[in-house]
Amino acid sequence: MQIYLDHNSTAPLHPGAAAVWQEMSREAWPANPSSIHWAGRAARRRLTKARETIAHLLGVSARELFFTASGTEANATALRGTIQLAPPGRRRVLVSGIEHPSVLRTLEAIARERPDVKVETMAVNRSGVLDLKSVEPQLSSDVLLVSLMLANNETGALQPVSELALRARAHGALVHCDAAQALGKIPVDLAALGADLVTGGGHKFGAGLGMGLLVIRRGVPMAPLLPGHQENGQRGGTENVVAVVAAAAALEAALAELDGLRGEGARIAKLRDRLEQGLLARVPETSVHGADAPRLPNTSAVRFSGAEGEAVLIGLDLEGIAASTGAACAAGSIEPSHVLLAMGVPAVEAMTSLRFSLGSSTTEAEIDRVLEVVPRVVASVRRYAFDPEDEPVRPTLTPE
């Protein structure tokens, strides 16, 4: 039995999206939606309809929605585009310490390129949620942008984006929200969220690869990362019509399936709780990061004290179980999850943590199988206690 518990990295293709990919890939005319002939016009109609569908589902205007090739590109566009047009006197950027690497690394690169831009970290509490009280003194009239994700990709912790947006706007700052992990997993009304810039990626909610989205609130100045006439001048390059149409189908289906307490969200949350309770009962010295915080219904970050996370991950893979670790492999060494470190988790403990992320394909039988395998694998790994300073160099997986 192969069990896939890495939905936060890439969700399996939703049947509705798969049907779109199959149908459109069989067409004889893969037209450019910028072309004026009949095939191009047909592609443009499909693109326009998909844009309107996604915008409606997210609670924004179709004129505010733009498509990119990935969520990473959308983040880079939002950050670089606003900073490039920063007005005089606004050169500070605030970002939470738990953001996705595509946000943190982009800001690090900008700070190296632009010494006048000052990037500062906003602290989170031990549950992995932004500490609004500590952020308040950081806000002032020289802040250009604050960046806070809606749901963390490792712990699933939901963040107080709307509350932060109210405080930031009081100082005239813009708000960027990476909503990639939340879209399709929980209902999201971007108009109520209050962010000026929102990003996401289709493969996180079962649309397939090759599509990112960027919402730019009307009136927000934005320089394109890739100049061109497409996407109303905001993103050059021929649009991936198939990926966008598939994303509309996947997002519409995913949100319909949530259906309040009776739908997929409740079912998946129940499976997540079954997994966590079983692991806590069967594996000694185990805990769940951010268990007391409001979380996505599908995400569980579990610490197996004394068991190297990478070794547990490999052991699970040999049993046909796919999960992930928040550790990063860089420059020939294994680094602990920056998310867990920001939460105050000691580096040694962070290295013993795994993320399980469930989805619509997850079954009760699969969770029961995981509960059979994990205790055995963890016990095996614990027989060989590790010293982080003597860690062998091995590649590892990084949650996306």
> Model confidence over 334-378: pLDDT tens digits?
789 999 999 999 999 999 999 999 999 999 999 999 999 999 999
Q: Which pLDDT belongs to residue 327?
A: 61
The DSSP annotation for 99-141 comes to --HHHHHHHHHHHHH-TT-EEEEEPB-TTS-B-HHHHGGG--T
> Model confidence over 377-390: pLDDT tens digits?
999 999 875 555 55
Given a contact cutoff of 8 angstroms between Cβ atoms, the answer to whether 68 and 213 are in contact is yes
DSSP letter at 262 equals: G
Residue 45 scores a pLDDT above 80: yes
Given a contact cutoff of 8 angstroms between Cβ atoms, the answer to whether 73 and 63 are in contact is no
Residue 328 scores a pLDDT above 60: no
257 burial via Cβ count (<10 Å: 0-12, 13-18, 19+): middle
Query: Would you mind telling me the total number of residues written for the chain in this entry?
Result: 400
What domains can be seen in the chain, in order of their start residue? 3-10+261-390 (3.90.1150.10), 15-257 (3.40.640.10)
Residue 292 scores a pLDDT above 60: yes
Provide the token pair at 48.
Answer: 């326009």
- Say which range, 16-30, 92-106, 246-260, 355-369, has the weakest mean pLDDT: 16-30
- Say which range, 19-23, 30-34, 208-212, 309-313, has the weakest mean pLDDT: 30-34
Residue 398 scores a pLDDT above 60: no
pTM (2 decimals)?
A: 0.92
Q: Could you say which of 62, 328, 329, 348 is catalytic?
A: 329
Active site residue 329: yes
Q: Which pLDDT belongs to residue 332?
A: 47
- Count of alpha carbons within 13 angstroms of residue 87, beta-carbon side: 10
Q: Give dist(CA 247, CA 249) in Å, integer.
A: 5
Provide the token pair at 237.
Answer: 């390059």
> Model confidence over 236-276: pLDDT tens digits?
999 999 999 999 999 999 999 987 556 889 999 999 999 99
